[in-house]
Every structure is written in structure tokens, then in C-alpha cells.
Amino acid sequence: MNLNQIASILDGAALHAKATQQVSHFRQLSLDEAYAIQSISIGRRYERGEKKLGLKLGFTSKAKMEQMGVHDMIWGRLTDQMKYQDNGELILGEFIHPRAEPEIAFKISKDIPEMISLEEASKFVDGLAVAIEIIDSRFENFKFSLEDVVADNCSSTGFCLGEWLPVNTNIKDIGIELLIDDEIIQSGNSNAILGNPWESLVAAARLAISNGEPLKSGDIVLAGAATSAVYIKANQTISAKAVGLGKCSLRVK
């Protein structure tokens, strides 16, 4: 099976909310091939009219790496179709086995054509927000190798954002939580994200450049979850909260 065929299977699995078997069960992929599949598969979304909105990083915390049994940071693309309004509704039947995780989001204020340092990172950002990321692996039982999940656009499926706050809002060493029906289900600290969530932005800028798609003004970057992700069910209200960043919520139908 070639990379185009694998991309079609993964895109179809997402489109029809039907799980597929792990690619690594029938073909050994290199990481470069996995990113090539991601690129082809996201290209199909663009052909259907979706627009790129930014990037997400994954496995930037130990909690996530341990939960999923992988060992390296990954990145995927976000599109406009994945964005939900704060307090919006999410229809469970449109997903395979969705999970939610609390995140921190950056809004890019100017193009980042070159690698940036941690010290200068804030010059390229004009908004910080708490976020919920919805991940929905296209693989059966939410099980994958690192190459599988990269090919599957890092399980990217949806996200919602709280209010954008100014760039000098503190996001280091703050508590971040996932709540279901107002009960705290996961709680962590933002420093679990690469020691400092701003490091995620620096990494996203570098990865975007090395892939030939540098971050641009207006892009959104999700820093990666500080906690494990949680399966969501119908009739739940899912919220993410971070100290000083407020809250955002989604209602599951």
C-alpha cells in the first residue's frame, strides 16, 4: 500500500467516524513517511474547502507520553472545521471514541520565518487562552505507534478556546484542569508542558519552519496537554480551566 492509499484510509476513517487498523500492523513507516501521509491526508481536507488554522503539538508532557506509550513530541495541523465555539455543542456520533484534554493556546501576531528563542517568543504572540482539545484517534481502541499517530494528524479532531487574554498573562507554573459536569477529572500544572508552555511555542515555530510551513500571523498553536485525556460521553459538559486564564466549555450531545 502506498502513502496516498494510507492517507485516503485515514481521511475516510475521520470523515465517516469509523476506526481503522493501525498502519504499523501492515506496513512499517518511517517518521518522514508518517508526516508525508499526514500532509497528503490534510490536503484532502483542504480540497474539501477546509482552511489551515495553525498547529498543535502532542506529547509535550510526561502524563501524555505515559498514557499513550510513546516517547517523542509530535505535531499536527489544525483546520477551521475543527474549531468549536466556547459553550458550543459537539455531536458524539460524529466521532469514533473522542477524548478531551485541557490545553493552552497561543495566537500568533506576526509571521515567524526564523527560529525564535524562548526570550523573544512573546514578541510573536498577541493572545493566550485556555483550550479544550478533542482528540479522536482513527485507530481501533485508540492504540497506535508514534508513526501511526503522526500519519493520523496526531488524532486532531476539535478544539475550543476561552477568551483571548493579553500576552503578558502568566501561563508558567499555573494549575490547569479538565472538568466534566463541573467535577474536576484531571488536574495538572502548565510546567508539565516542556517545563514551560512557552517552550511549546518555540518548538512549534521550529517544527513549522523545518516542514516548510512557517507559522503565520493569525495562526493558533496548541501547546499540548499537561494531563491525560479523558473519554467523553453524551450529555456531559466538558470544561477546561487554567488559573488566570478562565474557562472554556463544550456540551456533548
Residues that bind Mg ion (CB under 5 A): 133, 225
Q: Which cell goes with 24? A: 504499523
Single out the residue of 11, 33, 86, 133 in contact with ligand OOG (rule: CB under 6 A): 133
Cα–Cα distance measured from residue 221 to residue 56, given in angstroms and rounded to the nearest whole number: 5
Q: Scanning residues 211 to 230, which ones bind ligand OOG (CB under 6 A)?
A: 224-225, 229
Q: Scanning residues 162 to 221, which ones bind ligand OOG (CB under 6 A)?
A: none
Q: Kindly tell me which of 86 and 148 has the beta carbon lying closer to ligand OOG.
A: 148
Nearest approach in angstroms of CB 113 to ligand OOG is: 26
Instruction: Please name the amino acid found at residue 232.
Output: I
Single out the residue of 35, 59, 95, 124 in contact with ligand OOG (rule: CB under 6 A): 59
Nearest approach in angstroms of CB 155 to ligand OOG is: 3
Is 68 an interacting residue with respect to ligand OOG (CB under 6 A)?
A: yes
Is 77 an interacting residue with respect to ligand OOG (CB under 6 A)?
A: no
Q: Scanning residues 92 to 121, which ones bind ligand OOG (CB under 6 A)?
A: 101
Nearest approach in angstroms of CB 110 to ligand OOG is: 25
Tally the residues of the chain. Answer: 253
Single out the residue of 22, 38, 79, 137 in contact with ligand OOG (rule: CB under 6 A): 137
Q: What is the largest CA-CA distance in the chain?
A: 49
Phi and psi torsions of 164, nearest 5°? -70, 130
Q: Kindly tell me which of 120 and 175 has the beta carbon lying closer to ligand OOG.
A: 175
Size of the site for ligand OOG (CB under 6 A): 15
CA distance to 98, 146, 202, per residue, from 16 (Å): 14, 23, 35
Taking each helix axis as running N to C, give the angle between helix 3-15 and helix 31-47, from 0 to 180 degrees, rounded to the nearest 10.
50
Question: CB of 229 within 8 A of CB of 215?
Answer: no
CA distance to 29, 58, 103, per residue, from 14 (Å): 20, 18, 22
Q: Collapsing DSSP states into helix, strand and coil, what is residue 58?
A: strand
Q: Kindly tell me which of 6 and 176 has the beta carbon lying closer to ligand OOG.
A: 176
Q: Which does 59 bind (CB under 5 to 8 A by kind): ligand OOG, Mg ion, none?
A: ligand OOG
Q: Which cell goes with 36? A: 508525508
Cα–Cα distance measured from residue 240 to residue 161, given in angstroms and rounded to the nearest whole number: 9
Is 148 an interacting residue with respect to ligand OOG (CB under 6 A)?
A: no
In the bound state, the residue with its beta carbon closest to Mg ion is 133
Show Cβ contacts of residue 129 under 8 Å, excluding neighbours closer than 6 positions.
104, 105, 107, 161, 162, 163, 164, 165, 245, 248
Q: Which cell goes with 15? A: 470523515
Single out the residue of 154, 208, 215, 238 in contact with ligand OOG (rule: CB under 6 A): 154
Residues at the interface with ligand OOG (CB under 6 A):
56, 58-59, 64, 68, 101, 133, 135, 137, 149, 154-155, 224-225, 229
